[in-house]
Each structure stands twice: as C-alpha cells, then as structure tokens.
Amino acid sequence: MTKDVNNQNLRVLVIDDNTSIHEDFRKILQAKAGEESFDQARAELFGDLPLSREIERFELDCADQGQAALTLVQQARNEGRPYAVAFVDMRMPPGWDGLETIEHLWEADAELQVVICTAYSEHPWNEIEERVGRTDKLLILQKPFNGIEVLQLATALCRKWDLAREVAGQLRELSIQVDQRTVELQGANEQLTQSNAVLVRTVADLEAIQAKVLLQNDELGRLASRDPLTGCLNRRSFYDQFETAMAESRKHGIQLSCLMVDIDKFKRINDQFGHGVGDQAIQAVANCLSTGLRLMDIIGRYGGEEFCLLFPRTTLAEAADLAERLRVRVETEAGVRMRMASRVVITMSCGISSTAGGARTPLELIDQADKALYAAKEDGRNCVMALDPIIAGANAPDQVEPQVRRITPRVSSPQASR
C-alpha cells in the first residue's frame, strides 16, 4: 500500500472504458515536481506547501470494465492493500454501467470511497441515490472536469479513508477494552455474588446462633427464677415481683392481698410413703394452685411445703373467695394427680391478709398472712382464715393479738376426716 509521509493510503483505482482517460488521471495524480502546471495546482490547493516541495505520488491502477475493476478490488483486499478511492465512469459498454459496478465494488469492499464521473444530465442524483442509497462514501465529479478538481477529490478522500480506518481501529480497540473490562467486571461481580452469598449464610448462621442464645438465655432466666420441683417462682424472684406489686398498691391506693398456704400433715406423707411421694404431693398442690389462678395473680414456693400467693387489685373479701375455691380444688384434685399413691388425701390450710390491714412492706403483709395461716392450723386445718383488717391496723396497740375470722364453713368433708 502506497503511504505518504503521514502514513496515508494513496491507492486509487480509475474505472473507465476510455484508455486516454487513464492517462489523464496518471498525469494529474502521478505528476512529478518539475511539472509546473501541477506544482501550481498543488500550491493553489495547499497554499502552505512550497512549490519546490515534492508532491506525493498516488499509486494508480486502471480498469476498462466493471468486472475487471472488481477483480482488482478483491485482490487488493486479499493482499491487505485496499484501494482508498475509485473514480468510476457511468458509461462503460458493453459490460456493467457505473452504478452496477459500484454495487459490486461495495460488496467486495464496503470502505471504498467512490467518485462518479458523469455528466449531470446522464443520471440525476435522485436516481443514483435510489440505486445505491444515501451514503457519505459517494461523490459526483461532473464532466468535463479539470486536474485541480481531481487532485482535490483524491487527496481529500484518501485522507477521509485513513481517518475512517483510524476511527474504526480506535473503535475496535475500545471494543476490546470494553470486552476486557466487561469480563473483569463480570468476574468481580461473580466474586462479589459469592462473597455476598457467604455473607448471607454467615448472617443466617449468626441469626440462628443468636436465636439459640436467646432461647438459652430465656431458659437460664426461667431456671434462675423458678423452683425446679414445682415450676413456681422461687423465693428471690417472688420477692422481686412482690415489691413491684406493693409499690403499685401504694401508688394507686388499691388493695393487695396475700395468701399463705401450707400442706396439711405433710410430714406424715413423707414418713408413710417416702420423699418421692412427698415431692409428688408438692407438685400436685402447686399444679392445682397454678391452674386455679387469674392471669394477674402470682405464686411462689415459699419453702418446703409452703406457698405464697399474691392477688393484685383484690380486696380481702375477694381474696377469701379465691382462697376457698383453691382449697376445694386441692382437696378434690391433688390426691387424684398422685401417681405413686393415688389414695392419699391432700388438704391445705390458708391464711389471708390485705394491705387494708396497714402493712407497708411485703414482709409485713406475709407476716400477717402467716399469722392467719397459724390460726387455720390451730382451728383444725383444711380451712381458710383471714386476718381482720381493723384489728390488724397499723394504729392498733402492740399488745392486742391479731384477730382472724374463718372463711371456710365448718362442714367436715369425708376426705378431710380420713
């Protein structure tokens, strides 16, 4: 491929059935520096070049028919030395005319710049456009033409061909870079996806571990606050809730009642049946008490066979009714729940106190309920005794013994007499 000092493709193809036209193109495009007329033309076209500078000579090939031109174009493409510009005559009997030749040439080389050499009257532009389409690779050189015009077209179109090739090369390089970058981004995205999947699994594992820890913490909290034998609150946790209930009672001026429960003749059960049956008896009583309470009520194992119950927002009379229902439930159901000694009769004695009696602390209220419980045991067991709130008031003389009243009717049940 012929190149100038600027590495420009200067290959030109002339297609005309008139060989004298071939010579005319050679004189114009391959003129030597000594030919003054062409130096002058060069100077007029490119005023920045001195007349003494050698004019770059185009590499020119000629064909007299379209078929021969197509062979040259195909050969040039195969050799990697394509033509930059083709000057095509419109009339070339008896073979292809100019338009048909152009169509075949562009099938072989779509980058070829074409100049139609024709008289305007022969083929109007709209007819040419209709045949080959609208494109920037096609110009018209109207006959008769002069050398300056031919030189100008050849020079400009060769530069245009090089610029198009340069742009195409840059686009290819850019496309390669884009493809490479796309592959890199895809790899990074795949790696990120994998990392994200690992992170999601890790988060899921952490959430599962956290849930397990929370369950274990709840279980530890339950074990720390519950009596292992009965499931009731242990003494420490019961006191904590007692303090809260007492503070609420004082703040809102509402009554709080306390019930102390003791299983009757529990030592006899242990001595007669053993401690295993004794534990079952405690569990059975705790179950009867727990299932008979309201949602707001609180039960704790106070120690041994004793239980303490809180009835928030409950008067002494209401607490007495609750205690009596619980006593009856234990008497009728606790023995049935025993697995190892089903014929054991279990009863309980109950003592009730209320903040209406003047107690200001949990210990004072428990102490009052305990006094009522002692009275219930002294009065024959299996009954409910309530501390009289008037006698037990905070202003009562210390020497006056607290008075209790029996809640349970004095009717001995067949089971209790056994």
- What is the C-alpha radius of gyration for the chain, rounded to an integer number of angstroms? 58
- 3 — pLDDT class (breaks 50, 70, 90): low
Q: What is the mean pLDDT of residues 165-171?
A: 89
Average pLDDT for residues 3-9, to the nearest whole number? 67
Per residue in 364-416, pLDDT (tens digit) is 999 999 999 999 999 999 999 998 876 555 444 444 455 778 877 765 444 44
> pLDDT-derived band of residue 62, with 50, 70 and 90 as boundaries?
very high
Lowest-confidence segment of 172-186, 262-276, 385-399 by average pLDDT:
385-399
User: Which residue did the predictor score with more confidence, 394 or 109?
Assistant: 109
pLDDT band for position 95 (cuts 50, 70, 90): confident
Residue 264: per-residue pLDDT: 95
DSSP secondary structure string for all residues of 331-393: IIIIGGG-SS-TT----EEEEEEEGGG---SHHHHHHHHHHHHHHHHHTTSSSEEEE-TTTTS
Q: Are 58 and 83 in contact (CB under 8 A)?
A: no
Average pLDDT, the chain: 85
Judge whether residue 254 has pLDDT over 90: yes
- How many other β-carbons are positioned within 10 Å of the β-carbon of residue 372? 30
Q: Which residues contact 163 (CB under 8 A, 6 or more apart)?
A: none
pLDDT on residue 399: 41
pLDDT beyond 60 at 37 = no
Which of 77-86, 265-274, 400-409 shows the lowest per-residue confidence on average (mean pLDDT)? 400-409
Would you state the structure tokens that stand for residue 185, as one six-digit string? Answer: 């981004």
* pLDDT given at position 401: 53
Average pLDDT over residues 143-166: 90
Read off the pLDDT of each residue in 32-60 and give the average, rounded to a whole number.
Answer: 56
Residue 342: pLDDT band (50, 70, 90) is low
Which amino acid, 105? Answer: L
| DSSP label of 330 | I
The answer, yes or no, to whether residue 195 has pLDDT greater than 60, is yes
Least confident of 54-63, 77-86, 320-329: 54-63
DSSP designation for 297: -
Q: Regarding predicted confidence, which is higher, 218 or 61?
A: 61
Which of 39-43, 72-76, 290-294, 325-329 is predicted with the least confidence, judged by mean pLDDT? 39-43
What is the average per-residue pLDDT within 222-227? 84
Mean pLDDT across 94-98: 86
Where is pLDDT greater, at 121 or 133? 133
Q: Are 30 and 60 in contact (CB under 8 A)?
A: yes
pLDDT over threshold 90, residue 7: no
d(C-alpha 118, C-alpha 232), whole Å: 113
**Alpha carbon distance 64, 66 (integer Å):** 7
CA pair distance 242, 14, nearest whole angstrom: 114
pLDDT at 308: 96
Q: Which of 189-198, 244-253, 335-344 has the lowest mean pLDDT?
A: 335-344
Q: Decide if pLDDT at 102 tops 80.
A: yes
The pLDDT confidence band at residue 90, using thresholds 50, 70 and 90, is confident
The predicted structure's pLDDT at residue 120: 61
End-to-end CA distance of the chain: 129
**Comparing 19-33, 158-172, 245-259, 385-399, which segment has the lowest mean pLDDT?**
385-399
The pLDDT assigned to 418 comes to: 38
Percent of the chain clearing pLDDT 70 (strictly above): 85
pLDDT of 396 reads 45
